[in-house]
Amino acid sequence: MKKILLHPKTAAIIFSEVKREYFPTEAQYLTEKDAFRDAKVIANYLRKLKIKPVLYPANKLLAYRLRKSNVDLVINLAASVRGNEYLASTVPALLELLEIPYTGAGILGESLSYNKFIIKKLLQQNGVPVPNYQLFNSYTDPIDSTLRFPLISKLNEIHGAVEITRQAVSENEKHLRERLKFLIKTYNQPVVVEEFIVGREITAILLEGLNKKVYLAEKRFNKPNEKYIFATFEDQWLESKVEPFYYQKYSDSILKEYVKKAFEVAEMFDYGKFDIRLDQSGRYFFVDANSNPAFGSKELECAIASILDLYEVTFIEILKRLIENTMRDAMGKKLLPITKNGNNS
């Protein structure tokens, strides 16, 4: 392995290779179509830190390009390979083989992130609250008698709020069956159905450095006339004359401890994002977990930068902490057999 530098001179930014034919729907394509643009923006920030960037798509030429370039660090932004999000874990696998330090979750953390059902099981069994849920492999599967309507349906292996539309919430079995049939046939994957938690929505960002810091923000919605208020695909990806929501600081030490536990259980590293619902009784429910969530500066409208900006943490500072944490971990690996999450192997 090459000498590890605490302050790298060169960095590769790996991003999703996006072609329309890779994706079964326009909606999923929209969530990744700007991957190269976003990578170029981050490259400009690396230059401000005196780090020379090179940009590579996550495709079959990646290993060759990385070996040839001999970079000190990889900023891993790849959210899919050939349009398949579950293949995102092949990128950290490659980087482990090449012994190149990289940001974000390792092989296990990335693999877990793209199986929402497994994540819910792990959180539930480790005391992190989640709504009642069920995995459907077929739209004809019997419905668990403990589930209570309204129910919300989510693709098990895809993030980015794909198909989280107003039609995602079902008030009766007929609507739910129709929704399941559409999702399973269109995306050829299981669907997680969970009880919809009426209440407030909170986003949590955990950023690692010398210690783990949790930043909380509540989504404040401009949807006074809607029955079920939540962040839809349209809210997050389509332009609107009126901002559907904005972030406001939120604080609760109990929730921060839940977030730290969830981060550990989900095998995340460097940074992670969690969506939480708060019901009218004051109970928290974790409804989504993202290792390597969308990473970018405030102008790219990424949650991580927008939320940390509320706490007066700039994107340059986020990037510096991310790089320093990754390089420090890489130096530790040279001295001890340490896994990506920092535990002795």
Contact assessment for residue 194 and residue 151, using Cβ atoms and an 8 Å cutoff: yes
Say what the pLDDT of residue 2 is: 57
The C-alpha atoms of residue 8 and residue 243 are separated, in whole angstroms, by: 39
Residues 69 and 21 in one domain: yes
Beta strands at 10-15 and 73-76: parallel, antiparallel or unpaired: parallel
Name the packing angle between helices 253-265 and 116-125 (round to 10°). Answer: 120
For 152, the 3-state DSSP assignment is strand
Q: Is residue 296 part of a domain?
A: no
Task: Give Cβ neighbours of residue 58 (< 8 Å, ≥ 6 apart).
Answer: 14, 15, 16, 17, 78, 80, 81, 88, 91
Residues 140 and 92 in one domain: no
Q: Is residue 158 part of a domain?
A: yes
Task: Give Cβ neighbours of residue 4 (< 8 Å, ≥ 6 apart).
Answer: 72, 101, 327, 330, 331, 334
Q: Is residue 16 part of a domain?
A: yes
- Please report, for the domain that includes residue 185, its CATH number: 3.30.1490
Model confidence pLDDT, tens digit, residues 34-58: 999 999 999 999 999 999 999 999 9
Residues 36 and 85 in one domain: yes
**pLDDT beyond 60 at 6:** yes
Domain boundary among the residues 69, 104, 139 is at: 104
Q: Is residue 243 part of a domain?
A: no
Q: Is residue 335 part of a domain?
A: no
For 287, the 3-state DSSP assignment is strand
Contact assessment for residue 106 and residue 267, using Cβ atoms and an 8 Å cutoff: yes
Q: What is the mean pLDDT of residues 279-288?
A: 97
Place of tokens 């070996």: 67
The C-alpha atoms of residue 260 and residue 238 are separated, in whole angstroms, by: 32
Residues 93 and 24 in one domain: yes
The single-letter code of the amino acid at 224 is: P
Which stretches of 102-232 are DSSP H helices?
Answer: 107-113, 116-125, 173-187
Domain boundary among the residues 104, 119, 147 is at: 104
Domain boundary among the residues 180, 195, 210 is at: 195
Number of domains in the chain: 2
Torsion sign across C-alpha atoms 165, 166, 169, 173: negative
Say what the pLDDT of residue 224 is: 80
**pLDDT beyond 70 at 17:** yes
The C-alpha atoms of residue 278 and residue 252 are separated, in whole angstroms, by: 12
Residue 67 is part of which domain span? 10-104
Confidence of residue 167 (pLDDT cuts 50, 70, 90): very high
Q: Which of 9, 3, 314, 285 is nearest to 124 (CA)?
A: 285
Q: What is the mean pLDDT of residues 10-27?
A: 97
Residues 100 and 179 in one domain: no
Q: Which of 233, 228, 231 is nearest to 162 (CA)?
A: 233
Which stretches of the chain are DSSP H helices?
Answer: 26-30, 35-48, 62-69, 90-98, 107-113, 116-125, 173-187, 233-237, 253-265, 303-310, 315-335
Residues 91 and 17 in one domain: yes
- Please report, for the domain that includes residue 31, its CATH number: 3.40.50.20
Say what the pLDDT of residue 156 is: 98
Say what the pLDDT of residue 344 is: 43
Q: Is residue 156 part of a domain?
A: yes
Residues 99 and 38 in one domain: yes
**pLDDT beyond 50 at 287:** yes
Question: What tokens appear for 125 in the block?
Answer: 């069994």
Residues 95 and 140 in one domain: no
Question: What tokens appear for 139 in the block?
Answer: 């739209």
136 strand-pairing partners: 191
Contact assessment for residue 96 and residue 107, using Cβ atoms and an 8 Å cutoff: yes
Q: Which of 189, 175, 141, 241 is nearest to 25 (CA)?
A: 189
Model confidence pLDDT, tens digit, residues 308-321: 999 999 999 999 99
Q: Is residue 314 part of a domain?
A: no
Question: What tokens appear for 253 in the block?
Answer: 């030490």
Residues 23 and 81 in one domain: yes
Residues 100 and 23 in one domain: yes
Q: Is residue 35 part of a domain?
A: yes
